[in-house]
């Protein structure tokens, strides 16, 4: 059981000291890109024929860019600033150089054996939370997400 709960863009980011301009997805083929192993955003890059170095965890990606072992990293837009900060780096050191046009859908998924009552309780609570725009804005702000770019 499951349902989509958001549509998020995925991005390519660069370390600000690097001068990189990307006009279209095809331009990415000439850069060294890193993504997370088995991550949906990395899979989309691989499926489009672009080479990608894969790492097991997000916290490796900012460091790889800083050490000039890659030019870009790819990840979803929703939590990137917060994850960079949790990797002990300043999110302001990085900037988006390309936003992919097709958003990726995010889903909640439940095991088939989950009782309907639990599923319905969760769904109702989630929908109630999403209806509270002020609460959602506070959540986004907590993680450094600019909701005006969503």
Instruction: Give residue-wise pLDDT tens across range 107-141.
Output: 778 899 999 999 999 999 988 988 888 888 887 77
pLDDT for the residue 4: 42
Domain ranges for the chain: 2-107
Question: What is the average pLDDT across 83-94?
Answer: 89
**CB neighbour list of residue 73: distance below 8 Å, 6 or more residues apart:** 12, 13, 33, 34, 35, 61, 62, 64, 65
Q: Angle CA(11)–CA(60)–CA(143) in degrees, nearest 5?
A: 55
Higher model confidence: residue 88 or residue 39? 88
The confidence band for 53, taking pLDDT boundaries of 50, 70 and 90, is: very high
The confidence band for 76, taking pLDDT boundaries of 50, 70 and 90, is: confident
Instruction: Give residue-wise pLDDT tens across range 3-30.
Output: 444 445 556 767 777 788 888 888 888 8
CATH 1.10.10.10 fits 2-107, yes or no: no
pLDDT for the residue 101: 66
pLDDT for the residue 102: 57
Res 1 pLDDT > 50? no
């Amino acid at each position: 059981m499951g349902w989509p709960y958001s549509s998020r863009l995925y991005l390519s980011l660069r370390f600000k000291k690097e001068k990189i301009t990307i006009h279209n997805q095809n331009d990415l083929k000439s850069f060294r890109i890193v993504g997370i192993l088995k991550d949906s955003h990395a899979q989309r890059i691989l499926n489009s024929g672009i080479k990608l170095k894969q790492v097991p965890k997000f916290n490796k990606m900012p460091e790889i860019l800083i050490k000039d072992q890659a030019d870009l990293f790819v990840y979803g837009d929703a939590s990137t600033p917060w994850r960079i900060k949790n990797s002990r780096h300043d999110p302001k050191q990085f900037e988006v150089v390309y936003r992919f046009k097709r958003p990726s859908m995010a889903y909640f998924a439940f095991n088939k054996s989950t009782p309907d009552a639990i599923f319905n309780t969760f769904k109702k609570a989630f929908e109630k939370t999403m209806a509270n725009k002020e609460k959602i804005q506070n959540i986004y702000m907590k993680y450094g997400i600019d909701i005006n770019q969503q």
